[in-house]
Structure 1
Amino acid sequence: MSRWKPGSRARLQEAALDLFLEHGYAATTTASIAERAGVTDRTFYRHFKDKSEVLFGDEGRTEHLMVTAVADSGSSASGALREALRAVARDFEPRRGAMARRATVIESVPDLAERELWKLRTWSRALTQALVERGEEPFTAQAQVEVALALFRTAFQSWTHDDAPSALDELIRNAYTAVRLPDA
């Protein structure tokens, strides 16, 4: 096994998804993930602290992407949140296949599903704080964030589970329209 071959992190993530779907999350070990990816256990642990991190290791990057979009936006609070969701959609779109597989694994394991909800809660706090820092009243900011994230979750569910979905950003736009909110 060559520990210097580039792309170890991505190979580990792909190998983990394959194994989780083939054998189940509980039956998959970090050693089997490393072996499938063609790296050592040590390389696995350089990238991830445990096997759940393979699924959640990018959450901080996505949160940063959204908070930056809100902070940089010249739009209203609702417009800034829509810009944040557009940024996430652009980031996720090329990875739809992996995201759909990831969603399947997470939904099949209660502890992972709970962690996914916790991730969304941390996004909510960060986005609310970003809006407050822009001058929005905390209650209003939190309400707007919760609605935006609910619409995102609805669109994401369709995007990861439908056979031939529209683009994620289009699904988000459709979710806004379905509840008659302006698509800023």
Structure 2
Amino acid sequence: MGRWEPGARERLVVAAVDLFTEQGYDATTVAQIAERAGVTKSTFFRHFPDKRELLVAGQETLSRLLAEGIAEAPADASPLEAVAAGLRRASSTMGPANREFAPRLKAAIAASGELQERDALKSVSLAAAMTTALVARGVPDPIAALAGELGVLAFKRGYQEWSEGERDGDDDLAGYALAALDDLRAASAALG
């Protein structure tokens, strides 16, 4: 096992999702994940406190990128325009590997109530990051919260459509997320 081999964190995530899909979340042990990833158990615990946290490995980075994009939006941007800037920023880090990995991740989450719960908490955290960034721009709290929630919905819908779409290499996640945000904006206007 390569103790200091680069990419251990990413390999642990891929190994975990593959094992969760093959044999179920409950039946998968940390030792099995570490072995599949080619690292030691101690390396696993340097990166993650437990196996449940593997599926939210990029959550902090994603929250940070969403907030940075919102903060860097033009001063005159509406709350949803600022959210769109956050979605563009966060989406820029997602590439072909994320797209190929997405169906396996979705299957692993769908098969485990515990992972579904953790995924829901991730959504709450992402919405909170966007809400906080919008409030820092001077957006009133109820509007910021609503825009943050719409941003999470747009990201999740866009990610799903992107990961399930044709893999011609020319489209990126941002286009899907922004189209989903436009759809949600239109839908919310129809609420009356």
Scaled to the shorter chain, the TM-score interval is 0.7 to 0.9
What's 1:128 paired with?
131
8 Å CA contact 2:24–2:112 kept in 1: the answer is: no
- The alpha carbon displacement at 1:78 in A equals 1.4
What's 2:79 paired with?
77
What letter corresponds to residue 91 of structure 1 in structure 2?
T
- The alpha carbon displacement at 1:168 in A equals 2.1
Matched, 1:38 2:38: yes
Q: Is 94-103 or 114-123 further displaced after alignment?
A: 94-103
What's 2:189 paired with?
none
What letter corresponds to residue 100 of structure 1 in structure 2?
P
Task: Tell me the matched-pair count.
Answer: 180
- The alpha carbon displacement at 1:69 in A equals 1.0
Q: Is 4-13 or 115-124 further displaced after alignment?
A: 4-13
In the TM superposition, 1:93-172 aligns within 5 A as 93-94=95-96, 95-160=98-163, 162=164, 164=166, 167-172=172-177
- The alpha carbon displacement at 1:88 in A equals 1.9
What letter corresponds to residue 89 of structure 2 in structure 1?
A
What letter corresponds to residue 56 of structure 2 in structure 1?
F
**What is the TM-score of this pair, normalised by structure 2?**
0.85
What's 2:94 paired with?
92
Distance across 1 between alignment mates of 2:40 and 2:177: 40
Gaps of 5+ in 1: none
Distance across 2 between alignment mates of 1:115 and 1:3: 29
- The percentage of aligned residue pairs carrying the same residue is 37
In the TM superposition, 1:38-57 aligns within 5 A as 38-57=38-57
Distance across 2 between alignment mates of 1:179 and 1:35: 43
CA offsets 1:121-151 (integer angstroms, 9 cap, x no match): 1111221111111111111111222222222
Distance across 2 between alignment mates of 1:48 and 1:180: 37
What letter corresponds to residue 168 of structure 1 in structure 2?
L
Distance across 2 between alignment mates of 1:102 and 1:21: 8
What's 2:190 paired with?
none
**What is the TM-score of this pair, normalised by structure 1?**
0.88
Gaps of 5+ in 2: 187-192
Q: Which segments of structure 1 move beyond 6 Å, counting only runs of 4 or more?
A: none
Distance across 2 between alignment mates of 1:144 and 1:180: 10
